[in-house]
Structure 1
Amino acid sequence: MLAFLWSLGAFIIALGILVAVHEWGHFYVARKCGVQVERFSIGFGKPIWRKLSKSGTEYVIAMIPLGGYVRMLDGRIDDVPPHLADKAFNNKPVLQRMAVIAAGPGVNFIFAFFALWLMYLVGLQTVKPVVKSVEPDSIAEMAGMQNGDEIIKIGSRATPDWEAVNFELVSNIGDEKAQVTVKNSAGVEKELTFTLTSWNFDPDSESPLSSLGLTPFRPDPTLEVGFVGEGSAAQQAGLKIGDTLIAMNGNKLSSWNGLVDVVVDSPGERVALEIERDGQTQILHATIARRDTPQGQSGYLGVSPTFEPWPEGYVFTHQYGIIEAIGRALDKTWRLMTLSVDMIGKLITGDVSVKNLNGPISIAQGAGTSAEYGLAYFLSFLALISVNLGIINLLPLPMLDGGHLMFFTVEWITGKPVPEAVQEWGYRIGGVLLFMIMGIAIFNDIARIT
């Protein structure tokens, strides 16, 4: 329950920030173009806070925090007094109207850059993309990848960490091949060709790395206890953080994975755990808990290990000065934009399945997880969602900013507005398509958690 509330709170904060940024873009440019703004609302439904400014704009925070809007004076829907005719949106030159509409997505991109710039100033701790193991007969092994290789480039893009590797791998979905440059432990570089024609990537059950047969390097677990779950079988038995597990039922333990194998296969059984605490050996008795899995019942002790230290140089921090962070943030923002456009294109062509669409539940989980990791990770998450919000709003679907821009572009070229009947049908068709996409995304969310 606590995790749900944390994710919900982080989601509301993230969405509130991004909606406010997007709508502020429309609001700011509208005011600069001399348009009368009637209402600036964050959220929909019944207002829970409102304030009327001297300029006549009503600022509102509403009950349902799933969007927002800027309501401008418009002669198509309002009775506009003659003295305010020049302040109506529909009476402005077409290029000004286009600027007002484009400002929302545009500010989303600017905000993403700003969030990433702050992230690089704060510093983001990350890990070198060194491969621990390569699965036999996998795409990676057939390409020549070996244990201990560091992935330094995919295509023409450098990959300093695993996040960059994942981004670049995902960008190759639907392609026949991917060029991957690696460096072995001796520092020798080589270029590998991943043949992707048989690559089947299911994001619900695996990562891009595991689907290619790659396991990232991470230090091995020790037999020292690093975490004990509240109310777990381990806590009830008396296990504490810092205890070292020596044996179970008299059988000496050689690795943490060996302990896990025994526990998973022993649901409901009472076991004797030999531990070392403060230099003294003790025997504790635990009844292994049961939990249901798709494969049947499995045992659960409720304890996690400590890990061996990372090798020197494997963990580093992306942290830069004010000027260098600008370049890094610009490059990352541009890459997020191009990747988003690429994924939408592949979704349309069928190279990417609609199962990959994420809805509000997945976004909320991402917000909660990133917030738990710290400010830098939350800023990175905000940048990613802000870019996606901007790109999606530019799609040429009526009801979205891109649909309005499409109609205004036609008006700019022809010198005449698109007939209202055509616009009306466009809004209906666009609305149906938009709600279909939203329905698929929400269905995917529900399927992932059930």
Structure 2
Amino acid sequence: MEENPGFFWTVLSFLVVIGPLVFVHELGHYFVGRWFGVKADAFSIGFGREITGWTDRRGTRWKIGWLPLGGYVKFAGDMGPASQPSKEWLSMPAEERARMFQGKPVWQRFLIVAAGPVTNFLFAIIIFSGFLLTYGQQQTPPVIAGVVSASAAAQAGLRAGDRILSISGKTVDRFEDIAMIVSLRPEQPLRIEAEREGRRIEVVAVPQTRVERDRFGNEFRKGLLGVTPAGSVIEPVPATAVVGLAVRQTVDIVTMSIEGIGQIITGRRSVKELGGPLKIAQYSGQQASLGLEALIWFMAIISINLGFINLLPIPLLDGGHLFFYMIEAVRRKPLAPEAQEWAFRTGIAALLTLMIFVTLNDLASFGLWSKLGGLIG
């Protein structure tokens, strides 16, 4: 029987997840901007009409908007969607302009913008570090204890006792790495290097597809190799190694996100797997119902994805600004305002189209269209 939290619990959980992550993201922009001496006019969590807020002694307006799907920091001198200075800014004295965002060198503007996504990654690394210190890490040796009959591993010729060394060029240090690498690649030929009785062997396996359902009824399509370990080994992690392992976990998740998007673009995965805010809200409620630890872990995953998405070179996102700053650094002058405006208008249209698509996708995954079809029929 499927278990799903109620509507109000889902909404509350979504706000608990997305609010702090947006705050952390914007705080990265804010603090690096302050470090370089840039005044912030406004710091907003959410868009649209202000619900509540206050003005600090530096003149920054801290506020909460009614639409909790993002946020922004408005720096003095950063007055347009394409970060183009206004006529009012250009008419200011040079000394005053030098203290504003557009008056800063391109490398400082680059760091201010990059600080948001970087802070999201740092937030996830801190969470992963806490889990590693508290619970340790699974460190099961990558030695095959059993091979499932008629599985991809059996067909490739893998045997019990083989030690997996790498899969498709990715080093395997522990048995848990096998599932991480294989699960994202169903029906995709994988070159596997293993050690058997002191000698190296190489085989090619094509993971089978398994569709799993969790307790909430969510379906997941995974690649399955068909090998089992001798057992699960959990070892404590030395404090000196925690950050390095947390960084590796973060990099692995970003890599999986990139590969997943690539598979959707190339048609190896269905576009139905793309989710938007509604899906995040649904998963937030589900993870919150599993307990605080599950919700915190989920926040780390969403934080990584928020940082990754914002680094995409799409106008209007942080990555779009960074892309233009790199062009400006190479050309020694910014692109023409007309070119930037055209790019940002295109970016807005692309993002709106994507938002509509993923929202329709989310509604379809909830079964809305089939229910409407039943009512009409």
TM-score by length of 1: 0.66
Give the C-alpha shift of residue 435 in structure 1.
2.2
- Structure 2 residue 54 is matched with structure 1 residue 51: yes
Q: Which moved more, 1:329-338 or 1:171-180?
A: 171-180
SS in 2 for 1:208: strand
Give the C-alpha shift of residue 4 in structure 1.
3.6
Match of residue 155 from structure 2: 142
Which of the numbers 176, 180, 202 marks the counterpart of 1:167? 180
Give the C-alpha shift of residue 404 in structure 1.
0.8
Give the C-alpha shift of residue 29 in structure 1.
1.1
The answer to whether the 8 Å contact 1:154/1:178 transfers is yes
Match of residue 289 from structure 1: none
Separation in 1 of the partners of 2:340 and 2:155?
53
Match of residue 242 from structure 2: 325
RMSD between superposed Cα atoms in Å: 3.6
1:206-245 aligned at under 5 Å gives the runs 206-209=220-223, 212=224, 214=226
Match of residue 358 from structure 1: 275
- Structure 2 residue 345 is matched with structure 1 residue 434: no
Return closer, same or farther for 1:443/1:365 CA change in 2, 3 Å cut-off: same
The answer to whether the 8 Å contact 1:37/1:70 transfers is yes
Match of residue 401 from structure 1: 318
Tell me the matched-pair count. 346
Return closer, same or farther for 1:348/1:320 CA change in 2, 3 Å cut-off: same
- Structure 2 residue 205 is matched with structure 1 residue 194: yes
Identity score, percent: 34
Paired residue type of 2:276? G
SS in 2 for 1:54: coil
Gaps of 5+ in 2: 80-84, 213-217, 368-377
Return closer, same or farther for 1:213/1:120 CA change in 2, 3 Å cut-off: closer
Match of residue 10 from structure 1: 13
The answer to whether the 8 Å contact 2:327/2:335 transfers is yes
SS in 1 for 2:98: helix
SS in 2 for 1:67: strand
Give the C-alpha shift of residue 134 in structure 1.
3.9
Higher Cα Rg: structure 1 or 2? 1
Return closer, same or farther for 1:319/1:376 CA change in 2, 3 Å cut-off: farther
Give the C-alpha shift of residue 59 in structure 1.
0.7
Paired residue type of 2:286? T
Return closer, same or farther for 1:214/1:24 CA change in 2, 3 Å cut-off: same
SS in 1 for 2:257: helix
Which of the numbers 19, 28, 31 marks the counterpart of 2:31? 28
Match of residue 286 from structure 2: 369
Gaps of 5+ in 1: 184-188, 218-312
Match of residue 419 from structure 1: 336
Match of residue 121 from structure 1: 133
Match of residue 100 from structure 2: 88
Separation in 2 of the partners of 1:2 and 1:201?
26
1:334-349 aligned at under 5 Å gives the runs 334-349=251-266
Return closer, same or farther for 1:157/1:87 CA change in 2, 3 Å cut-off: same
Paired residue type of 2:340? Q
Q: What CA deviation, in whole Å up to 9, does each residue of 1:339-370 have, x standing for no partner?
A: 22333344444444322212123222333333
Return closer, same or farther for 1:370/1:139 CA change in 2, 3 Å cut-off: same
Separation in 2 of the partners of 1:180 and 1:354?
32
Paired residue type of 2:8? L
Give the C-alpha shift of residue 432 in structure 1.
2.0
Larger strand percent? 1
The answer to whether the 8 Å contact 2:47/2:69 transfers is yes
Q: What CA deviation, in whole Å up to 9, does each residue of 1:205-231 have, x standing for no partner?
A: 55314xx475989xxxxxxxxxxxxxx
- Structure 2 residue 112 is matched with structure 1 residue 100: yes
Return closer, same or farther for 1:179/1:215 CA change in 2, 3 Å cut-off: closer
Q: What CA deviation, in whole Å up to 9, does each residue of 1:128-152 have, x standing for no partner?
A: 799998474x534423468999989
Give the C-alpha shift of residue 413 in structure 1.
0.7
Which of the numbers 192, 198, 201 marks the counterpart of 1:179? 192
- Structure 2 residue 357 is matched with structure 1 residue 445: no
